[in-house]
Amino acid sequence: MSNSCVRRIFDEHGKLITNPKLILSGLHDFYSELYSNRDLPNHHVLGDAFLDHCLLPTLSEDSKNNCEGALTNAECSKLCKHFATESLQVTMG
């Protein structure tokens, strides 16, 4: 049997499931619920309360001005080379 398959899971009640069809059904139900659109009561209140009390960093006026305007070809090329190098280091590291 392949190592890339789910061989067992615990259901919402903590029961171990090993039957492949029940595993598939359990995973389907879990992700369907996880990604379902639900209108949670007062969700905007919770979000506002979080944002009102967290300290988010802000840019200085100089940094804001530095971010304005179109990117030049040289800037794009420099960034692409940087990302390629960073990606290579992560892959090789």
pLDDT digits (tens, 9 = 90+) for 17-63: 999 999 999 999 999 988 887 777 777 777 788 888 888 888 899 98
Phi first, then psi, for residue 40 (nearest 5°) are -75, 135
Q: Among 35, 42, 6, 38, which Cα is nearest to 23's? A: 6
> Can you read off the two tokens belonging to residue 36?
């379902």
State the average pLDDT over residues 55-73. Answer: 86
pLDDT at 23: 94
